Amino acid sequence: MNNITQLPTNQLEPNPLQPRGAINHETVSDLVDSIREHGILEPLIVAQTPAGYQIIAGERRWRAARTLKLPYVPVIIKKVNPQQMLEMAIVENIQRQDLNPIERAKAFNRLKDEFNLDNHVIAQKISKSVPYVINVLKLLTLPDAIKDGLLSGLISEGHGRALGGIGDTRLMIEAY
């Protein structure tokens, strides 16, 4: 059962395995306004570690709570290992479609490299198909200029995959 409890805001730490590359300060600012008016509507998910409590899901809410100097935040404490922390953070962000395509690809690659998971296991853990995982991972092979286009939102993930299908880097860049 997921019991909600209150923890002191200053006892929480960001997740070093967070798949999101950077926190958008503008969205945190918007969240500050919302929390000021309505409070924190959804508890943070945290893991108890030897170093303290690390945030699995809800880092933006935590940052907003710190900005507002809230002494406590609602949390659900999970007993998980580092692999499970990364998996939960990835799933939570994918469900909200919160990671950009390159962050998602890097997160999948970490599951492969750090925990020796294959594409089938990753697909199962995130409730997606194996071809979906393979296509996302292929984005990491794109030239940096095209990856930058994906990161900035200049091109969509579908466009990135189509460009990757060209095979020749020079032709990819020309088509981009």
Give the tokens for residue 37. Answer: 């008016």
Give the tokens for residue 142. Answer: 């794109």
37 in catalytic set: no
For tokens 């710190």, name the residue.
Answer: 66
Please tell me which residue in 59, 92, 114, 157 is annotated as part of the active site: 59
Report which DSSP code applies to 61: H
Tell me if 12 sits within 8 A of 44, measured CB to CB: yes
Q: What are phi and psi of 154, to 5 degrees?
A: -65, -35
Catalytic (active-site) positions: 59
